[in-house]
Structure 1
Amino acid sequence: MEKPALQRKIIHIDMDAFFASVEQHDRPELRGLPLAIGRDVPRGVVSTASYEARPFGVRSAMSIMQAKKRCPGLLIVPPRFGRYKEVSGQIHAIFHEYTDLVEPLSIDEAFLDVTENKKGMGLAIDIARAIKREIYEKTGLTASAGVSYNKFLAKIASDYRKPDGLFLVHPDRALDFVGRLPVEKFWGVGPKTAQTMHGMGIVTGEQLREVSLSHLLQRFGKQGKIYFDFARGIDNRPVVVDHERKSVGCERTFMEDISSKSTVIIELYHTVLELVERLERSGFEGRTLTLKLKWDAMTQITRSITHTKALRTKDEILPLAKRLLSQTEYGSRPVRLMGLSVSSPVHDSDGQKPWQEWVEGYLQFH
């Protein structure tokens, strides 16, 4: 494998079951018990599951109802996003003691480029070990760290020995490491893409490496070039310090299409609640609300509205969401998927007028 002139030193830090771990730290009586962070309501969703709950199959994004069925003794703990942000701030302050090249991915994970670091330390794995130790000393929480020469490999490495893990993918061993990986572990390979690859006889990174670039481009479009590079341990994306979130959203695909107006309204209400929770969690503030409905596998429609101030609460968002829904054909067409998102960060200036509305119309998928 051809090496770049300057080998970067990249660390990916991922907090272990972050929300659940904060609760167990703050409330010792919860330690060692299976718990899920979420709202114990009929349509509640698991934000984070503790490691004690995971052997039962409880995981993030699962419905609370399903999680309780899988783990009858599961404790449901309401989220405290303000507390999680406070702890996240402590953790990110630790990152900046070592480097200012920090790219947050979420409240509980980040990439760090420590090629040139403030401590003058030579080995990235020593820096990762020091960061993990300092996080534990200052917060009482454990983190898992992956170390390599690019973001793709560092990200995979951080998942390799969770929880409280530390794993290095050395440049000299990267090809062997990638070759043994199941394609499901590759960044950007979801269940559908993995299924397509399996149908092509591609199960591991080594098998993916044997496929020509032209064939991957033909089957996966531009994403094919990314898979081609990843299979060779190549990822030239830099750690982006000024990376800024542009939107926060959520969507749900229904097990069966819903048709009645009352059912759609109920689902809209619960989608709004989930969106508000995600906004609280991320700290994002935006002015544009977008509703997405998918009627069938081929057609979806979006409606959007922009306000002069940030949209944060259920009382602010729900009336707008209902207003957007009223502009659609709901009730006369079955709905397969519903989504809501908030975009247009409050500090952006896009020239839109207060309460400006726009319609994208139908988007055809081919």
Structure 2
Amino acid sequence: MVDSATILHIDLDAFFVAMELLRRPELRGLPVVVGYLGPRGVVATASYEARRYGIHSAMPTLRARRLCPTAIFLPPDFTYYAPASRRFHAILREFTPAVETVSIDEAYLDVAGCEPLFGPPAAIAATIRSRIRDQIGITASVGIATNRLVAKVASDAAKPDGLLHIPPGQEAAFLAPRPLRDLPGVGRRTAEILHGLGIATIGELAALPATILEAKLGRHGRELQQRARGIAPGGVIAHPPGRRSISREHTYQRDEPSRERLLATLHRQAEHIAEDLARQERSARTVILKLRFPPFETLTRSITPGRQLILPQDLYTAAVTLFEAAWNEHGRQPVRLIGLGVTGLTERARQLALGETVAPAALQQTIIALRQRFGEHTIRRAAELPPPPPQQP
């Protein structure tokens, strides 16, 4: 019988730290943190020895140093990490073309149909882990399941250097005893609301009546209940080799509470991304939003509208949908960082919809030309301007 659990989530273990230990083996076994020290510095990743002190990714590095004064802090060296990341993704593509890159050290695979060549999913995962260890010198953890969500939770549960296979039909039972924050989509604010209802585990969330969840969390509540039961639509979105994404991020000097200014930043990012797409003569399939709330809690949300995305307004519309849901979910807190990205890049082959004109594309080209000629700030939205100083009485 062919196993229908064919989705693999592969995550390199503490990737940046693992790479640093390759060239600094004398640091093995010590608490090591990769991240810039400074007032706005954050932890990129931490060794498992450092994590025992409560240090984790996206934590302010100054707080991490207070938690573990003896920790060794190293600045990120992305030029050094990049070749290993490329080798990692190249290894994955030797087993299946259905590879969805999530980040420099993380990807989903769908190995359905690959069994005659490479064996069942667990054997494929074991071979990939062995190849990563032999060819890069670091370790990876793998989760195997029928969908991306459960595979992701499984790989986290398998860390470090492990493999966890969730058979079909066992998704809900696997998730049930795990804490709420292990479920993708449950942020700090949502967890607080659920804890107020006496909910501490994913299984308790799954058993809660949908009417209560919708009353507390809106439509997001019903979606979370489905996730808690291991039900998550959407398969692996394969990305071709080469540049797989375009993104922009902005970190505010002070946490930004204004919806108008946040949306203005998103609009500007959408314009920049559309400019990059135009220069490359490419379109996008998926829009990704990134928000960071104090104290450095980061979340990402994505949407795939089902059509080629080219124009800034299309990107912005999708971004606003994601932003409104995520911001409301977190109690409309001030935002420290906001980012917009696109993936699923393909060659352009877009046909005008009924009633659509070429005016938006022409306007986009005019804005690009003006900024190239007269500078980045030639055209700005009013909401992007700094607020006027308070008037003296």
1:46 aligns with one of 43, 47, 52? 43
Distance 1:121 1:214 in 2: 46
1:353 aligns with one of 367, 375, 378? 367
**Comparing both structures, which one devotes a greater share of its residues to strand?**
1
Distance 1:357 1:118 in 2: 54
Distance 2:93 2:114 in 1: 10
| C-alpha distance after superposition, 1:39-79 (max 9, x if no partner) | 23343222111122111222222222222222122111121
SS at match of 1:47: strand
How far residue 360 of structure 1 moved from its aligned partner, in angstroms, is 5.5
Q: Does the CA contact (< 8 Å) of 1:8 and 1:113 recur in 2?
A: no
Aligned to 1:256: none
1:14 aligns with one of 11, 14, 25? 11
Q: Does the CA contact (< 8 Å) of 2:34 and 2:45 recur in 1?
A: yes
2:216 aligns with one of 179, 201, 219? 219
Distance 1:52 1:301 in 2: 37
Aligned to 1:247: 247
Gap change, CA 1:360 and 1:75, over 3 Å in 2: same
Aligned to 2:204: 207
TM-score by length of 2: 0.66
Aligned to 1:90: 87
Q: Does the CA contact (< 8 Å) of 1:145 and 1:165 recur in 2?
A: yes
SS at match of 1:137: helix
Moved more, 100-109 or 224-233: 224-233
Calculate percent identity across the aligned residue pairs.
35
Distance 1:186 1:29 in 2: 36
Q: Does the CA contact (< 8 Å) of 1:10 and 1:150 recur in 2?
A: yes
SS at match of 2:118: coil
Q: Does the CA contact (< 8 Å) of 2:33 and 2:46 recur in 1?
A: yes
Gap change, CA 1:44 and 1:207, over 3 Å in 2: closer
Q: Partner amino acid for 2:221?
A: G
- 1:193 aligned to 2:190? yes
Gap change, CA 1:339 and 1:153, over 3 Å in 2: closer
How far residue 143 of structure 1 moved from its aligned partner, in angstroms, is 0.5
Gap change, CA 1:172 and 1:42, over 3 Å in 2: closer
Q: Partner amino acid for 1:353?
A: I
The 5-angstrom pairing of residues 223-234 of structure 1 reads: 223-234=220-231
Q: What count of residue pairs does the alignment treat as equivalent? A: 295
How far residue 299 of structure 1 moved from its aligned partner, in angstroms, is 7.2
| C-alpha distance after superposition, 1:241-266 (max 9, x if no partner) | 139545342546xxxxxxxxxxxxxx
| C-alpha distance after superposition, 1:327-359 (max 9, x if no partner) | xxxxxxxx9544454668999975451334334
TM-score by length of 1: 0.71
Q: Does the CA contact (< 8 Å) of 1:99 and 1:118 recur in 2?
A: no
SS at match of 1:127: helix
Distance 1:214 1:180 in 2: 23
SS at match of 1:206: helix
**Comparing both structures, which one devotes a greater share of its residues to helix?**
2
Aligned to 1:129: 126
SS at match of 1:111: strand
The 5-angstrom pairing of residues 1-366 of structure 1 reads: 7-117=4-114, 120-242=117-239, 245-249=245-249, 251=251, 267=253, 293-295=256-258, 301-304=262-265, 305=268, 337-339=335-337, 341=339, 350-351=364-365, 353-354=367-368, 355=371, 356-359=379-382
Distance 1:6 1:34 in 2: 40
Gap change, CA 1:300 and 1:86, over 3 Å in 2: same
Unaligned residue ranges in structure 1 (runs of 5+): 253-266, 269-291, 311-334
Distance 2:98 2:119 in 1: 16
Distance 2:367 2:145 in 1: 47
| C-alpha distance after superposition, 1:303-346 (max 9, x if no partner) | 44556987xxxxxxxxxxxxxxxxxxxxxxxx954445466899
SS at match of 1:133: helix
Distance 1:357 1:299 in 2: 14
Q: Partner amino acid for 1:40?
A: L
Q: Does the CA contact (< 8 Å) of 1:98 and 1:119 recur in 2?
A: no
How far residue 29 of structure 1 moved from its aligned partner, in angstroms, is 2.3
Unaligned residue ranges in structure 2 (runs of 5+): 277-332, 349-360, 372-378, 386-393
Distance 1:112 1:151 in 2: 9
Q: Does the CA contact (< 8 Å) of 1:46 and 1:60 recur in 2?
A: yes
Distance 2:230 2:341 in 1: 34
| C-alpha distance after superposition, 1:192-237 (max 9, x if no partner) | 1111112223222332222333443333233223222223221121
Gap change, CA 1:25 and 1:9, over 3 Å in 2: same
